[in-house]
Homo-oligomer: A and B are copies of this chain.
Amino acid sequence: MRRLVSAEEARRVLLSLVDVIGEEEKVPLDEALGRVLSRNVYAESDVPPHDRATMDGYAVRARDTWHASETHPVSLSLVGAVPIGQIPSVSVGPGQAARIDTGAVLPPGADAVVPLEYCEERDGKVLVYRRVSPGENVQWAGSDIARGELIAQRGTVVTPRVIAALAAAGVGSVWVVRRPRIAVLSIGNELVEVGATLRPGQVYDVNAHTIRALAVSLGAEVKLLGIASDDPEDVASRISDGLKWGDLVVTTGSSSVGQQDILERAIGSIGGEILVHGVRTKPGKPVLIARVRGKPVIGLPGHPTSAYVTFKLYVEPAIRRMLGLRPLRRIPRTACLTRPVITAEGRATFQTLTVKRGLALPLNVISGAVSTVLRADAFIFVDESTRLIPPGQTIHLEPLDDIAGEVDILIVGEFSPTLQQVFVEFAERENLTLRWLKAGRDAALLSVRRGEADVAVVPGVVDNAHVILERKLILVEHARGEVVAAVDINIASSRVRTHQSAAFRLLTGLAGAAVLPDELAELYGLRGREVGREAISVVVSEHFEMRDKLIDFLVTRLRAVSGVSRTCA
Protein backbone atom coordinates (compact mmCIF):
# COMPACT_ATOMS: atom_id res chain seq x y z
CA MET A 1 0.00 0.00 0.00
CA ARG A 2 1.35 3.40 -0.96
CA ARG A 3 1.78 6.15 1.61
CA LEU A 4 -0.66 8.94 0.83
CA VAL A 5 0.57 12.45 1.66
CA SER A 6 -1.44 15.53 2.60
CA ALA A 7 -2.36 18.18 0.03
CA GLU A 8 0.00 20.57 1.77
CA GLU A 9 2.89 18.14 1.52
CA ALA A 10 2.17 17.44 -2.15
CA ARG A 11 2.22 21.17 -2.86
CA ARG A 12 5.43 21.59 -0.88
CA VAL A 13 7.09 18.80 -2.88
CA LEU A 14 6.05 20.27 -6.22
CA LEU A 15 7.13 23.77 -5.21
CA SER A 16 10.53 22.40 -4.14
CA LEU A 17 11.05 21.29 -7.76
CA VAL A 18 10.19 24.70 -9.18
CA ASP A 19 12.28 27.87 -9.31
CA VAL A 20 11.55 31.45 -10.26
CA ILE A 21 12.37 31.71 -13.96
CA GLY A 22 15.66 33.59 -14.27
CA GLU A 23 15.19 34.68 -17.87
CA GLU A 24 13.55 38.02 -18.58
CA GLU A 25 12.39 39.99 -21.59
CA LYS A 26 12.07 43.72 -22.15
CA VAL A 27 8.68 44.60 -23.62
CA PRO A 28 7.00 47.91 -24.53
CA LEU A 29 4.49 49.05 -21.93
CA ASP A 30 1.50 48.30 -24.16
CA GLU A 31 2.60 44.69 -24.54
CA ALA A 32 3.19 44.22 -20.84
CA LEU A 33 -0.48 43.74 -19.89
CA GLY A 34 -0.85 40.48 -17.97
CA ARG A 35 2.91 39.87 -17.79
CA VAL A 36 4.85 39.75 -14.51
CA LEU A 37 7.54 42.28 -13.65
CA SER A 38 10.98 40.72 -13.20
CA ARG A 39 12.51 43.79 -11.58
CA ASN A 40 11.40 46.34 -9.03
CA VAL A 41 10.44 49.55 -10.80
CA TYR A 42 11.31 52.80 -9.07
CA ALA A 43 10.16 56.24 -10.16
CA GLU A 44 12.93 58.03 -12.03
CA SER A 45 11.21 61.36 -11.76
CA ASP A 46 8.71 63.15 -9.58
CA VAL A 47 4.99 63.14 -10.31
CA PRO A 48 4.08 65.87 -10.73
CA PRO A 49 7.56 67.04 -11.71
CA HIS A 50 6.90 70.53 -10.36
CA ASP A 51 4.44 72.43 -8.19
CA ARG A 52 1.48 72.41 -10.51
CA ALA A 53 -1.69 74.49 -10.76
CA THR A 54 -4.74 72.19 -10.72
CA MET A 55 -7.12 74.93 -11.97
CA ASP A 56 -7.01 77.75 -14.48
CA GLY A 57 -6.69 80.96 -12.49
CA TYR A 58 -4.24 83.28 -10.77
CA ALA A 59 -1.18 82.28 -8.76
CA VAL A 60 -1.15 84.31 -5.53
CA ARG A 61 0.18 84.42 -2.01
CA ALA A 62 -2.69 82.96 -0.02
CA ARG A 63 -2.28 85.47 2.81
CA ASP A 64 -3.05 88.30 0.34
CA THR A 65 -6.55 86.87 -0.20
CA TRP A 66 -7.58 86.50 3.43
CA HIS A 67 -9.86 89.50 3.34
CA ALA A 68 -11.39 88.69 -0.06
CA SER A 69 -15.12 87.97 -0.28
CA GLU A 70 -17.87 88.01 -2.87
CA THR A 71 -18.81 91.54 -1.95
CA HIS A 72 -15.34 92.89 -1.12
CA PRO A 73 -12.77 91.70 -3.63
CA VAL A 74 -9.06 92.17 -2.98
CA SER A 75 -7.14 93.94 -5.72
CA LEU A 76 -3.74 92.50 -6.74
CA SER A 77 -1.34 93.74 -9.43
CA LEU A 78 -1.01 91.43 -12.39
CA VAL A 79 2.70 90.73 -12.98
CA GLY A 80 2.36 88.47 -16.02
CA ALA A 81 1.37 84.97 -17.03
CA VAL A 82 2.88 81.50 -16.72
CA PRO A 83 2.39 79.68 -20.00
CA ILE A 84 2.04 75.94 -19.76
CA GLY A 85 5.21 73.98 -20.47
CA GLN A 86 7.61 76.75 -19.43
CA ILE A 87 9.67 77.78 -16.43
CA PRO A 88 7.98 80.87 -15.03
CA SER A 89 9.81 84.08 -15.81
CA VAL A 90 7.82 86.01 -13.22
CA SER A 91 7.70 85.74 -9.48
CA VAL A 92 4.79 86.70 -7.28
CA GLY A 93 5.56 89.17 -4.53
CA PRO A 94 3.22 90.51 -1.84
CA GLY A 95 0.12 92.07 -3.41
CA GLN A 96 0.82 90.47 -6.77
CA ALA A 97 -0.79 87.80 -8.95
CA ALA A 98 0.14 85.91 -12.15
CA ARG A 99 -2.21 84.31 -14.68
CA ILE A 100 -1.75 80.53 -14.69
CA ASP A 101 -3.28 77.59 -16.59
CA THR A 102 -4.00 74.12 -15.27
CA GLY A 103 -0.79 72.13 -15.31
CA ALA A 104 1.55 75.12 -15.42
CA VAL A 105 4.43 75.62 -12.97
CA LEU A 106 3.58 77.62 -9.85
CA PRO A 107 5.81 80.73 -9.96
CA PRO A 108 8.17 81.54 -7.05
CA GLY A 109 6.52 83.43 -4.24
CA ALA A 110 3.04 82.05 -4.94
CA ASP A 111 1.59 79.32 -2.74
CA ALA A 112 -1.98 78.99 -4.03
CA VAL A 113 -4.16 79.43 -7.10
CA VAL A 114 -7.48 81.31 -7.16
CA PRO A 115 -9.79 79.77 -9.79
CA LEU A 116 -10.61 81.92 -12.80
CA GLU A 117 -14.31 82.13 -11.96
CA TYR A 118 -13.59 83.98 -8.68
CA CYS A 119 -11.41 86.64 -10.34
CA GLU A 120 -11.90 89.59 -12.61
CA GLU A 121 -9.08 91.20 -14.61
CA ARG A 122 -9.28 94.99 -15.03
CA ASP A 123 -6.64 97.60 -16.00
CA GLY A 124 -3.59 95.57 -15.00
CA LYS A 125 -5.25 94.55 -11.74
CA VAL A 126 -6.87 91.31 -10.65
CA LEU A 127 -9.92 91.50 -8.41
CA VAL A 128 -10.11 88.37 -6.23
CA TYR A 129 -13.58 87.50 -4.87
CA ARG A 130 -12.66 84.49 -2.73
CA ARG A 131 -10.03 83.64 -0.17
CA VAL A 132 -7.77 80.67 -0.74
CA SER A 133 -5.69 78.81 1.82
CA PRO A 134 -1.99 78.02 1.29
CA GLY A 135 -1.61 75.07 -1.08
CA GLU A 136 -5.14 75.40 -2.47
CA ASN A 137 -5.38 74.27 -6.10
CA VAL A 138 -1.69 73.39 -6.14
CA GLN A 139 -0.32 69.88 -6.46
CA TRP A 140 3.21 69.86 -5.05
CA ALA A 141 6.17 68.31 -6.84
CA GLY A 142 6.54 64.65 -5.95
CA SER A 143 3.39 64.59 -3.82
CA ASP A 144 1.84 61.95 -6.08
CA ILE A 145 4.92 59.83 -6.78
CA ALA A 146 8.37 60.86 -5.52
CA ARG A 147 11.59 60.14 -7.39
CA GLY A 148 13.02 56.91 -6.01
CA GLU A 149 9.66 55.61 -4.85
CA LEU A 150 8.86 51.98 -5.52
CA ILE A 151 6.15 51.93 -8.20
CA ALA A 152 5.80 48.23 -8.66
CA GLN A 153 7.47 45.25 -7.04
CA ARG A 154 9.03 42.48 -9.05
CA GLY A 155 6.48 39.69 -9.10
CA THR A 156 3.62 42.10 -9.80
CA VAL A 157 1.10 41.26 -12.52
CA VAL A 158 0.86 44.19 -14.91
CA THR A 159 -2.78 45.34 -14.73
CA PRO A 160 -4.23 48.53 -16.24
CA ARG A 161 -3.58 50.18 -12.88
CA VAL A 162 0.09 49.24 -12.92
CA ILE A 163 0.31 50.51 -16.50
CA ALA A 164 -1.11 53.85 -15.36
CA ALA A 165 1.56 54.20 -12.68
CA LEU A 166 4.39 53.08 -14.95
CA ALA A 167 3.31 55.48 -17.70
CA ALA A 168 3.08 58.35 -15.22
CA ALA A 169 6.63 57.64 -14.11
CA GLY A 170 7.75 57.74 -17.74
CA VAL A 171 8.52 54.02 -17.98
CA GLY A 172 8.08 53.18 -21.66
CA SER A 173 9.17 49.55 -21.49
CA VAL A 174 9.58 47.07 -18.67
CA TRP A 175 11.45 43.88 -17.84
CA VAL A 176 9.10 40.94 -17.47
CA VAL A 177 9.60 37.29 -16.57
CA ARG A 178 9.84 34.91 -19.55
CA ARG A 179 6.56 32.99 -19.78
CA PRO A 180 6.62 29.60 -18.02
CA ARG A 181 6.43 26.74 -20.53
CA ILE A 182 3.87 24.12 -19.65
CA ALA A 183 3.62 20.92 -21.69
CA VAL A 184 0.27 19.13 -21.38
CA LEU A 185 -0.33 15.44 -22.03
CA SER A 186 -3.63 13.58 -21.93
CA ILE A 187 -3.46 9.85 -21.24
CA GLY A 188 -6.19 7.32 -22.02
CA ASN A 189 -7.29 4.83 -24.69
CA GLU A 190 -10.82 6.18 -24.39
CA LEU A 191 -9.90 9.78 -25.27
CA VAL A 192 -10.53 11.39 -28.64
CA GLU A 193 -10.02 14.95 -29.90
CA VAL A 194 -12.89 17.32 -29.24
CA GLY A 195 -15.05 17.57 -32.35
CA ALA A 196 -14.32 14.05 -33.63
CA THR A 197 -17.11 11.46 -33.75
CA LEU A 198 -17.38 9.46 -30.54
CA ARG A 199 -17.50 5.69 -30.74
CA PRO A 200 -19.17 3.97 -27.81
CA GLY A 201 -17.04 4.12 -24.70
CA GLN A 202 -15.01 7.02 -26.00
CA VAL A 203 -14.98 10.45 -24.40
CA TYR A 204 -13.61 13.79 -25.49
CA ASP A 205 -10.23 14.95 -24.26
CA VAL A 206 -11.59 17.77 -22.11
CA ASN A 207 -8.56 18.29 -19.90
CA ALA A 208 -6.04 19.31 -22.54
CA HIS A 209 -8.20 22.33 -23.37
CA THR A 210 -9.01 23.19 -19.77
CA ILE A 211 -5.43 22.91 -18.55
CA ARG A 212 -4.26 24.96 -21.52
CA ALA A 213 -6.79 27.69 -20.76
CA LEU A 214 -5.96 27.70 -17.04
CA ALA A 215 -2.21 27.91 -17.70
CA VAL A 216 -2.57 30.57 -20.40
CA SER A 217 -4.76 32.63 -18.06
CA LEU A 218 -1.90 32.61 -15.57
CA GLY A 219 0.51 33.89 -18.21
CA ALA A 220 2.12 30.59 -19.30
CA GLU A 221 2.92 29.36 -22.77
CA VAL A 222 1.40 25.94 -23.43
CA LYS A 223 2.28 23.11 -25.79
CA LEU A 224 -0.13 20.20 -26.14
CA LEU A 225 1.62 16.84 -26.36
CA GLY A 226 -1.49 15.14 -27.68
CA ILE A 227 -3.28 12.06 -26.41
CA ALA A 228 -1.19 9.09 -25.30
CA SER A 229 -2.66 5.61 -25.22
CA ASP A 230 -2.50 3.55 -22.03
CA ASP A 231 0.96 2.40 -23.00
CA PRO A 232 4.00 3.28 -20.90
CA GLU A 233 6.23 3.60 -23.97
CA ASP A 234 3.91 6.08 -25.69
CA VAL A 235 3.52 8.05 -22.46
CA ALA A 236 7.28 8.06 -21.80
CA SER A 237 8.20 9.26 -25.27
CA ARG A 238 5.69 12.11 -25.16
CA ILE A 239 6.81 13.18 -21.69
CA SER A 240 10.42 13.17 -22.96
CA ASP A 241 9.38 15.45 -25.79
CA GLY A 242 7.59 17.73 -23.37
CA LEU A 243 10.61 17.97 -21.09
CA LYS A 244 12.85 19.16 -23.94
CA TRP A 245 10.74 22.28 -24.29
CA GLY A 246 8.79 22.72 -21.07
CA ASP A 247 9.56 23.89 -17.57
CA LEU A 248 6.85 21.56 -16.28
CA VAL A 249 4.89 18.65 -17.74
CA VAL A 250 1.28 18.21 -16.64
CA THR A 251 -0.47 14.95 -17.47
CA THR A 252 -4.10 14.06 -16.92
CA GLY A 253 -5.30 10.49 -16.97
CA SER A 254 -7.93 8.26 -15.56
CA SER A 255 -7.76 7.83 -11.83
CA SER A 256 -7.94 4.04 -11.85
CA VAL A 257 -5.17 2.05 -10.19
CA GLY A 258 -4.20 0.34 -13.42
CA GLN A 259 -3.73 3.52 -15.39
CA GLN A 260 -1.73 5.25 -12.69
CA ASP A 261 0.73 2.39 -12.95
CA ILE A 262 1.18 3.26 -16.60
CA LEU A 263 2.33 6.78 -15.72
CA GLU A 264 4.54 5.39 -12.96
CA ARG A 265 6.19 2.90 -15.30
CA ALA A 266 6.61 5.53 -18.02
CA ILE A 267 8.37 7.87 -15.63
CA GLY A 268 10.55 5.05 -14.32
CA SER A 269 11.56 4.10 -17.85
CA ILE A 270 13.02 7.54 -18.56
CA GLY A 271 14.92 7.70 -15.29
CA GLY A 272 12.40 9.76 -13.35
CA GLU A 273 12.03 9.68 -9.60
CA ILE A 274 8.52 9.53 -8.15
CA LEU A 275 8.22 11.73 -5.08
CA VAL A 276 4.47 11.66 -4.44
CA HIS A 277 1.99 9.05 -5.56
CA GLY A 278 -1.34 9.54 -3.88
CA VAL A 279 -2.74 12.41 -1.83
CA ARG A 280 -5.24 12.23 1.05
CA THR A 281 -7.81 14.44 -0.64
CA LYS A 282 -11.14 14.05 -2.34
CA PRO A 283 -11.03 14.60 -5.24
CA GLY A 284 -7.35 14.33 -6.12
CA LYS A 285 -6.24 11.02 -4.59
CA PRO A 286 -4.27 9.73 -7.61
CA VAL A 287 -2.06 12.83 -7.98
CA LEU A 288 1.53 11.88 -8.86
CA ILE A 289 4.59 14.14 -8.63
CA ALA A 290 7.96 13.20 -10.09
CA ARG A 291 11.30 14.69 -10.98
CA VAL A 292 12.49 13.69 -14.44
CA ARG A 293 15.81 15.00 -15.79
CA GLY A 294 15.74 17.73 -13.17
CA LYS A 295 12.28 18.95 -14.16
CA PRO A 296 8.91 18.44 -12.47
CA VAL A 297 6.18 16.22 -13.90
CA ILE A 298 2.75 16.18 -12.28
CA GLY A 299 -0.01 13.69 -13.03
CA LEU A 300 -3.55 14.91 -12.36
CA PRO A 301 -6.74 12.79 -12.31
CA GLY A 302 -8.73 12.38 -15.51
CA HIS A 303 -12.08 13.55 -14.13
CA PRO A 304 -12.45 17.08 -15.52
CA THR A 305 -13.61 18.59 -12.22
CA SER A 306 -10.85 16.78 -10.32
CA ALA A 307 -8.31 17.92 -12.88
CA TYR A 308 -9.55 21.52 -12.55
CA VAL A 309 -9.43 21.53 -8.75
CA THR A 310 -6.03 19.79 -8.53
CA PHE A 311 -4.65 22.20 -11.13
CA LYS A 312 -5.72 25.09 -8.87
CA LEU A 313 -4.19 23.34 -5.85
CA TYR A 314 -0.80 22.29 -7.19
CA VAL A 315 -0.06 23.54 -10.70
CA GLU A 316 -1.31 27.10 -10.21
CA PRO A 317 0.99 27.71 -7.20
CA ALA A 318 3.87 26.17 -9.19
CA ILE A 319 3.27 28.49 -12.15
CA ARG A 320 2.92 31.43 -9.77
CA ARG A 321 6.25 30.48 -8.18
CA MET A 322 7.90 30.31 -11.64
CA LEU A 323 6.61 33.80 -12.36
CA GLY A 324 7.78 35.06 -8.98
CA LEU A 325 4.21 35.87 -7.92
CA ARG A 326 3.35 35.96 -4.27
CA PRO A 327 0.42 34.08 -2.75
CA LEU A 328 -2.68 36.17 -3.37
CA ARG A 329 -4.33 37.50 -0.25
CA ARG A 330 -7.87 38.06 -1.41
CA ILE A 331 -10.47 40.26 0.18
CA PRO A 332 -12.45 37.46 1.92
CA ARG A 333 -15.76 36.29 0.56
CA THR A 334 -18.04 34.42 2.88
CA ALA A 335 -21.36 32.66 2.63
CA CYS A 336 -23.69 30.69 4.86
CA LEU A 337 -23.67 26.95 4.23
CA THR A 338 -27.20 25.61 3.70
CA ARG A 339 -26.55 21.88 3.82
CA PRO A 340 -24.04 19.78 5.71
CA VAL A 341 -20.75 18.99 4.03
CA ILE A 342 -19.73 15.44 4.93
CA THR A 343 -16.15 14.60 4.08
CA ALA A 344 -14.44 11.38 3.06
CA GLU A 345 -12.85 9.55 5.96
CA GLY A 346 -9.19 10.41 6.34
CA ARG A 347 -9.12 12.62 3.25
CA ALA A 348 -9.26 16.38 3.02
CA THR A 349 -12.19 17.43 0.86
CA PHE A 350 -12.60 20.14 -1.73
CA GLN A 351 -16.29 20.81 -1.83
CA THR A 352 -17.65 22.79 -4.76
CA LEU A 353 -20.48 25.23 -4.08
CA THR A 354 -23.03 27.38 -5.84
CA VAL A 355 -23.60 30.70 -4.12
CA LYS A 356 -26.87 32.62 -4.22
CA ARG A 357 -28.02 35.39 -1.89
CA GLY A 358 -25.07 34.71 0.39
CA LEU A 359 -26.19 31.08 0.74
CA ALA A 360 -23.75 28.37 -0.32
CA LEU A 361 -25.19 25.17 -1.71
CA PRO A 362 -22.75 22.23 -1.90
CA LEU A 363 -22.61 20.44 -5.26
CA ASN A 364 -21.92 16.78 -5.66
CA VAL A 365 -18.42 16.52 -7.09
CA ILE A 366 -18.57 12.92 -8.14
CA SER A 367 -21.70 12.70 -10.22
CA GLY A 368 -21.04 15.74 -12.34
CA ALA A 369 -17.48 15.38 -13.51
CA VAL A 370 -17.73 18.16 -16.06
CA SER A 371 -20.75 20.18 -15.18
CA THR A 372 -19.65 20.71 -11.57
CA VAL A 373 -16.86 22.98 -12.64
CA LEU A 374 -19.33 24.96 -14.74
CA ARG A 375 -22.11 25.08 -12.19
CA ALA A 376 -20.05 25.89 -9.13
CA ASP A 377 -18.92 29.37 -8.16
CA ALA A 378 -16.45 28.51 -5.45
CA PHE A 379 -15.04 25.73 -3.34
CA ILE A 380 -14.08 25.23 0.27
CA PHE A 381 -11.23 23.17 1.63
CA VAL A 382 -12.17 20.93 4.54
CA ASP A 383 -9.14 19.43 6.27
CA GLU A 384 -8.91 15.71 6.88
CA SER A 385 -9.66 15.90 10.60
CA THR A 386 -13.08 17.50 10.02
CA ARG A 387 -15.83 15.00 9.24
CA LEU A 388 -18.74 17.39 8.98
CA ILE A 389 -19.49 21.08 8.56
CA PRO A 390 -23.00 21.69 9.83
CA PRO A 391 -25.49 23.82 7.89
CA GLY A 392 -25.81 27.41 9.08
CA GLN A 393 -22.08 27.84 9.42
CA THR A 394 -20.37 30.81 7.77
CA ILE A 395 -17.66 29.58 5.44
CA HIS A 396 -14.81 31.25 3.57
CA LEU A 397 -15.09 30.77 -0.17
CA GLU A 398 -12.31 30.19 -2.68
CA PRO A 399 -13.71 31.48 -5.98
CA LEU A 400 -13.19 29.10 -8.91
CA ASP A 401 -12.08 31.98 -11.09
CA ASP A 402 -11.61 35.70 -10.83
CA ILE A 403 -14.84 36.67 -12.48
CA ALA A 404 -17.11 34.21 -10.68
CA GLY A 405 -20.27 35.95 -9.63
CA GLU A 406 -23.74 35.02 -8.48
CA VAL A 407 -26.07 33.65 -11.12
CA ASP A 408 -29.38 35.50 -11.59
CA ILE A 409 -31.80 32.57 -11.99
CA LEU A 410 -30.81 29.33 -10.30
CA ILE A 411 -33.03 26.41 -11.31
CA VAL A 412 -32.79 23.05 -9.55
CA GLY A 413 -34.38 19.72 -10.34
CA GLU A 414 -35.37 17.64 -13.35
CA PHE A 415 -34.17 18.67 -16.82
CA SER A 416 -36.81 19.59 -19.39
CA PRO A 417 -35.87 20.99 -22.82
CA THR A 418 -39.26 22.68 -23.17
CA LEU A 419 -39.00 24.45 -19.83
CA GLN A 420 -35.37 25.29 -20.53
CA GLN A 421 -36.39 27.05 -23.73
CA VAL A 422 -38.90 29.17 -21.85
CA PHE A 423 -36.41 30.02 -19.10
CA VAL A 424 -33.82 30.99 -21.73
CA GLU A 425 -36.34 33.31 -23.40
CA PHE A 426 -37.15 34.91 -20.06
CA ALA A 427 -33.47 35.29 -19.18
CA GLU A 428 -32.71 36.92 -22.52
CA ARG A 429 -35.64 39.28 -22.28
CA GLU A 430 -34.63 40.36 -18.78
CA ASN A 431 -30.88 40.17 -19.43
CA LEU A 432 -30.26 37.59 -16.72
CA THR A 433 -27.87 34.69 -16.31
CA LEU A 434 -29.28 31.23 -15.90
CA ARG A 435 -28.03 28.03 -14.31
CA TRP A 436 -29.71 24.64 -13.99
CA LEU A 437 -28.59 22.17 -11.34
CA LYS A 438 -29.91 18.65 -11.58
CA ALA A 439 -31.31 17.54 -8.24
CA GLY A 440 -33.85 15.14 -6.78
CA ARG A 441 -37.38 16.17 -5.87
CA ASP A 442 -36.96 16.80 -2.14
CA ALA A 443 -33.64 18.59 -2.45
CA ALA A 444 -35.07 20.84 -5.18
CA LEU A 445 -38.18 21.80 -3.20
CA LEU A 446 -36.14 22.49 -0.05
CA SER A 447 -33.69 24.70 -1.96
CA VAL A 448 -36.50 26.84 -3.29
CA ARG A 449 -38.19 27.14 0.09
CA ARG A 450 -34.95 28.33 1.68
CA GLY A 451 -34.16 30.78 -1.11
CA GLU A 452 -30.83 29.27 -2.14
CA ALA A 453 -32.43 28.45 -5.51
CA ASP A 454 -35.02 30.42 -7.46
CA VAL A 455 -36.98 27.72 -9.24
CA ALA A 456 -37.62 24.01 -8.61
CA VAL A 457 -38.63 21.65 -11.43
CA VAL A 458 -39.85 18.34 -10.02
CA PRO A 459 -41.69 15.30 -11.33
CA GLY A 460 -45.29 14.79 -10.21
CA VAL A 461 -47.92 17.22 -9.02
CA VAL A 462 -46.82 19.39 -6.11
CA ASP A 463 -49.38 21.22 -3.94
CA ASN A 464 -47.84 24.66 -4.23
CA ALA A 465 -46.81 24.37 -7.89
CA HIS A 466 -47.10 27.56 -9.94
CA VAL A 467 -47.10 25.79 -13.26
CA ILE A 468 -47.71 22.15 -14.09
CA LEU A 469 -46.48 20.84 -17.39
CA GLU A 470 -47.71 17.52 -18.69
CA ARG A 471 -45.58 15.56 -21.11
CA LYS A 472 -46.44 12.43 -23.10
CA LEU A 473 -44.55 9.21 -22.51
CA ILE A 474 -43.68 7.55 -25.83
CA LEU A 475 -42.88 3.90 -26.41
CA VAL A 476 -40.21 3.60 -29.09
CA GLU A 477 -39.78 0.04 -30.40
CA HIS A 478 -36.83 -1.08 -32.53
CA ALA A 479 -36.91 -4.82 -31.88
CA ARG A 480 -38.46 -7.46 -29.67
CA GLY A 481 -36.79 -7.81 -26.29
CA GLU A 482 -36.15 -5.74 -23.22
CA VAL A 483 -38.17 -2.49 -22.75
CA VAL A 484 -36.13 0.04 -20.78
CA ALA A 485 -37.44 3.17 -19.06
CA ALA A 486 -36.35 5.71 -16.49
CA VAL A 487 -39.98 6.42 -15.55
CA ASP A 488 -42.28 4.33 -13.42
CA ILE A 489 -44.36 2.54 -16.07
CA ASN A 490 -45.49 -1.06 -15.99
CA ILE A 491 -44.65 -1.94 -19.59
CA ALA A 492 -40.94 -1.47 -18.82
CA SER A 493 -39.11 -4.74 -18.22
CA SER A 494 -35.97 -2.94 -17.00
CA ARG A 495 -35.48 0.31 -15.13
CA VAL A 496 -32.58 2.65 -15.76
CA ARG A 497 -31.70 5.84 -13.95
CA THR A 498 -31.77 8.42 -16.73
CA HIS A 499 -33.82 8.91 -19.90
CA GLN A 500 -30.50 9.31 -21.68
CA SER A 501 -29.51 5.81 -20.60
CA ALA A 502 -32.75 4.45 -22.09
CA ALA A 503 -32.08 6.30 -25.36
CA PHE A 504 -28.48 5.03 -25.54
CA ARG A 505 -29.53 1.42 -24.93
CA LEU A 506 -32.23 1.62 -27.56
CA LEU A 507 -29.95 3.27 -30.14
CA THR A 508 -27.08 0.82 -29.62
CA GLY A 509 -29.31 -2.27 -29.61
CA LEU A 510 -28.69 -3.03 -25.93
CA ALA A 511 -32.47 -2.79 -25.51
CA GLY A 512 -35.28 -3.52 -27.96
CA ALA A 513 -37.56 -0.69 -26.85
CA ALA A 514 -37.61 2.33 -24.58
CA VAL A 515 -40.15 4.61 -22.95
CA LEU A 516 -39.19 8.30 -23.14
CA PRO A 517 -40.89 11.65 -22.54
CA ASP A 518 -41.92 13.14 -25.91
CA GLU A 519 -39.72 16.23 -25.61
CA LEU A 520 -36.64 14.04 -25.02
CA ALA A 521 -37.51 11.40 -27.66
CA GLU A 522 -37.66 14.29 -30.14
CA LEU A 523 -34.09 15.30 -29.35
CA TYR A 524 -32.88 11.85 -30.42
CA GLY A 525 -35.17 11.79 -33.49
CA LEU A 526 -37.14 8.89 -31.97
CA ARG A 527 -40.81 8.27 -32.73
CA GLY A 528 -43.37 5.95 -31.19
CA ARG A 529 -46.80 5.77 -29.65
CA GLU A 530 -48.10 7.38 -26.50
CA VAL A 531 -48.32 4.99 -23.56
CA GLY A 532 -48.85 7.40 -20.68
CA ARG A 533 -48.42 10.90 -19.28
CA GLU A 534 -46.08 12.49 -16.77
CA ALA A 535 -46.63 15.70 -14.82
CA ILE A 536 -43.82 18.11 -13.98
CA SER A 537 -44.31 20.87 -11.41
CA VAL A 538 -42.57 24.23 -11.41
CA VAL A 539 -42.25 26.09 -8.09
CA VAL A 540 -40.83 29.62 -7.99
CA SER A 541 -39.18 30.82 -4.77
CA GLU A 542 -40.70 33.63 -2.73
CA HIS A 543 -37.20 35.08 -2.56
CA PHE A 544 -36.92 35.49 -6.32
CA GLU A 545 -37.13 39.20 -7.14
CA MET A 546 -39.04 38.69 -10.40
CA ARG A 547 -41.34 35.92 -9.18
CA ASP A 548 -44.68 37.19 -10.49
CA LYS A 549 -43.18 38.21 -13.80
CA LEU A 550 -41.59 34.79 -14.27
CA ILE A 551 -44.80 32.90 -13.37
CA ASP A 552 -46.86 35.00 -15.81
CA PHE A 553 -44.26 34.44 -18.49
CA LEU A 554 -44.17 30.67 -17.91
CA VAL A 555 -47.95 30.33 -18.04
CA THR A 556 -48.28 32.42 -21.20
CA ARG A 557 -45.40 30.84 -23.07
CA LEU A 558 -46.11 27.24 -22.11
CA ARG A 559 -49.65 27.56 -23.45
CA ALA A 560 -48.11 28.44 -26.80
CA VAL A 561 -45.42 25.73 -26.85
CA SER A 562 -46.27 22.64 -28.85
CA GLY A 563 -46.11 19.23 -27.24
CA VAL A 564 -47.17 20.47 -23.85
CA SER A 565 -50.62 19.29 -22.98
CA ARG A 566 -51.65 21.42 -20.06
CA THR A 567 -50.36 24.12 -17.81
CA CYS A 568 -52.00 25.62 -14.76
CA ALA A 569 -51.07 28.64 -12.73
Contacts and interface: CB of A to CB of B under 8 A. Distances in A.
B161 A401 contact: yes
A498 interface: yes
Closest 5 pairs (CB-CB, A-B): A142-B500, A172-B195, A85-B201, A160-B213, A168-B370
A204 interface: yes
A104 interface: yes
Interface residues of A, number: 157
A240 interface: no
Contacts of A498: 140-143, 146
Given A49-B200, A56-B257, A367-B139, A151 B374 contact: yes
Given A103-B203, A332-B358, 7 more contacts: A50-B201, A144-B368, A147-B523, A149-B436, A161-B308, A326-B408, A326-B432
Nearest to A321: B431
B510 A88 contact: yes
Contacts of A74: none
A332 B494 CA distance: 49
A103 B190 contact: yes
A166 to B, nearest CB: 8
Contacts of A167: 194, 204-206, 209-210
B150 A436 contact: yes
Contact of A147 (B400, B404, B524): B524
Contacts of A417: 148-149
Interface in A289-319: 304, 308
A554 interface: no
Interface in A188-242: 188-190, 193-195, 198-207, 209-210, 212-214, 216-217
A41 to B, nearest CB: 11
Contact of A105 (B86, B200, B204): B200
Contacts of A156: 433
B500 A367 contact: no
A373 interface: yes
Contact of A213 (B163, B199, B200, B258): B163
A270 interface: no
A431 to B, nearest CB: 5
A369 interface: yes
Nearest to A431: B326
Interface string A16-47: 00000000000001100100000010000111
Given A49-B504, A139-B367, A161-B308, A55 B201 contact: no
B143 A108 contact: no
Contacts of A51: 496-497, 501, 504
Contacts of A201: 50, 83-87, 103-105
A116 interface: yes
A44 to B, nearest CB: 10
A86 to B, nearest CB: 6
Contacts of A194: 29, 167, 170-172
A47 B438 CA distance: 13
A164 B500 contact: no
B500 A143 contact: yes
Contacts of A173: 195
Given A200-B87, A331-B355, A50 B143 contact: no
A402 interface: yes
Nearest to A152: B374
Nearest to A333: B331
A193 to B, nearest CB: 8
Given A84-B201, A371-B47, A149 B415 contact: yes
A119 interface: no
A326 B433 contact: yes
A101 interface: yes
A159 interface: yes
B329 A406 contact: yes
A83 B202 CA distance: 11
A320 B207 CA distance: 29
Nearest to A308: B164
